Chains A and B, each alone.
Chain A
Amino acid sequence: MAALGAVRCVFRSCSRVKNVQKNKQTLLQWSARTCCSETHSTGDTVQPQFTDPAVQDILSRITGLDLQKVFRPIKQELKPPTYKLMTDEQLQQATQRAAEQAKKLLQMPPVLPERKPIDDVLTVDTILEGMDTAKYVFTDITYNIPHRERFIVIREPDGALRKATWQERDRLIQVYFPKEGRKLTPPLIFREENLKMVFSQDRHEDVLDLCLVQFEPDSSDYIRVHAATYEDLEKHGKYDLLRSTRHFGGMAWYLVNSRRLDGLVVDMLKRELLDDAVSLVSLFHMVHPHSQSAQEAASQQASGTDLLKIYAQKESQRSGYIELALQAYEQRAAEGSSA
C-alpha cells in the first residue's frame, strides 16, 4: 500500500488530463501540459509550440471555412428533412450560426510529442514464483480520477508487480470505461498495407477521423498514422482533400516542422489563395527563426508577395516553380484589375 501511495504521488505531479475530448477546455489543458513538460529552446528563443495562439490563428486561417464541405452529408441518424421559410435577415443569421458551428467542428486535434514508455517495476516477490500460469491485472475503477492517473498494475506469474504499459492501459481503460467508437484491438485499417490502399481511394480524412477516435494523441500509433497520411498527401499533392477539415492545421504544422512547404505553397498559389500562402511562409519564419529566408525577411521587413519571393529564393527547392506561379498570379491580378 505504501508503494502504491508513493506511486500515486508521482502520478499526481504530472498533468491531469482525462481523455481526448473535442473541446476548447481540453485544448487549453494540453497547452498547459506542453508548456510545463518540455522546453524546445534553441539558444535564446523558445520554439513556438502548436498551441501558441499566434500559431493557432495562422493555422485556422489557412484551413479555410468552406461551409459546403464542412456540412456535407455524413453518415448519421436518418431524419426527415425540415424546411423553413425565412426572410433574408433570418437567412443571414442562420448562416452566421452555421459558420460558428463550423468553427467548432474545425477545432484542431492536439499535436503532442510521443509518450515515453512505462517500465516501472514496483516490487519483485520471488517467493510467489509459480503461483499461477496467468497474469493478474488490477485496475482502479474509482470514478473521479483522470485516466492518465489511474493505477493499472500487473502481477506476473514470476511474482513481479509492474505498472501496465501504455497499450495495456489503453485496452483496459476501454474495457472498464468504454469510449464510443473505440475498439479494444485497433482496426485493421491502420496496418501499412491497408493504409496504402485507403490512400489510393483518397480517403485520408476518414482514416484521420478513425485514428483520432481510436488512439490517444501522444501514442506512437497515432503519430505513425498521421505521419504516413501527411507523407502520402505531400507525395501526391492532394492538399485540397484536407482543406476545411480539422486536420489541415496538423498537416501544415507537420510540413512546416519538416521544412517541406513547397508543394503546399504552389498548391495555394494555383488556387489563388495568396493570403494563405503568405501566412504559411510567415508561420515557417516563426518556427524556424534562424533560417536564411527568415533572417532576410526580418531584415527587409517584407510582406505579401515579397515574402514569398524571398522564401522562393532562399529556402525552397522548387524555387522556379514558385516564382512561375507568382508571376502567373500577378498577371491574372493585373488582368482582373484592368478588365
Chain B
Amino acid sequence: MLVFYNKITCQQTSGDVCKFLHPKLFHLLGGGLSADNMVHLSAHNKRARDSKYIEQLGTYDPLPNIYNEKLVSFNFDRIKYWIGCGAHPSKPVAKLLGLAGFFPLHPMTITDAERRRAQAELSAAAGAESEEQTEKPAEV
C-alpha cells in the first residue's frame, strides 16, 4: 500500500500550500503475509516503516507470476492529490513510477541496467575464455 503519514520533519519544503503542515512521504511498506510475499507501498516520515499509515495508494508484487509479470498497481488519482499536497516518493517508489511512465526515468534505473549489462558481458567473456581453455587441453 502506498500510504501516507502525518509527521514532522526538518525538511519543510518551501512554497507548501497544503493545509497539512508537515510534508509526507510515500514509500514501500514491507509486510503482509510472508506466503504471498506482497510488498505494500506505504508512506511515513519518522514513524517505523510498517506502522500506521494514512492511505494505501497501490501494491507491488516483487515475485513474477506464471506469465513472468511483476504486478504493480497505482491509484494515480490519489498519488496526484498527495503530490499536490507536497508529498515526496521514496527511491524505490520513484523508480517504479519512472518505469510506469508517470515520472521521468530514475537515473538509478538506468545505472542499474548499464551495470547489469556490463556484468552480463563480463560473464559472457569469462564463459567464452573458460570454453577455449577446456578445448585446448582436449585438442592437445
A/B interface sample: 15 pairs, CB < 8 A:
A1-B101, A127-B114, A129-B117, A130-B116, A134-B70, A137-B69, A137-B70, A138-B72, A138-B96, A138-B100, A141-B73, A142-B77, A143-B75, A154-B69, A161-B101
Q: Taking the complex as formed, is B99 at the interface, i.e. its CB lies under 8 A from any CB of chain A?
A: yes
A140 contact set on B, CB distance < 8 A: 73-76
Q: How many A-B residue pairs have CB under 8 A?
A: 87
Chain B interface residue number, banded: 20 to 34
Contact check, A155 vs B100: say whether CB atoms are below 8 A apart.
yes
Q: Which residues of B contact A (CB under 8 A)?
A: 58, 64, 67-78, 96, 99-105, 109-110, 112-114, 116-117, 120
Complexed CA–CA distance, A4 and B104 (Å): 11
Complexed CA–CA distance, A2 and B70 (Å): 24
Complexed CA–CA distance, A78 and B71 (Å): 39
Contact check, B70 vs A131: say whether CB atoms are below 8 A apart.
no
Contact check, B70 vs A136: say whether CB atoms are below 8 A apart.
yes
CB distance from A250 to the nearest CB of B (A): 32
CB distance from A209 to the nearest CB of B (A): 28
- We find that the number of chain A residues with CB closer than 8 angstroms to chain B is 32
Contact check, B101 vs A137: say whether CB atoms are below 8 A apart.
no
The interface residues of chain A, by DSSP majority, are classed as mixed
Q: Taking the complex as formed, is A125 at the interface, i.e. its CB lies under 8 A from any CB of chain B?
A: yes
B77 contact set on A, CB distance < 8 A: 142-143
Contact check, B113 vs A131: say whether CB atoms are below 8 A apart.
yes
Closest 8 pairs (CB-CB, A-B): A131-B113, A134-B64, A138-B100, A142-B77, A139-B73, A141-B73, A130-B117, A137-B69
Contact check, A130 vs B71: say whether CB atoms are below 8 A apart.
no
Q: Taking the complex as formed, is A92 at the interface, i.e. its CB lies under 8 A from any CB of chain B?
A: no
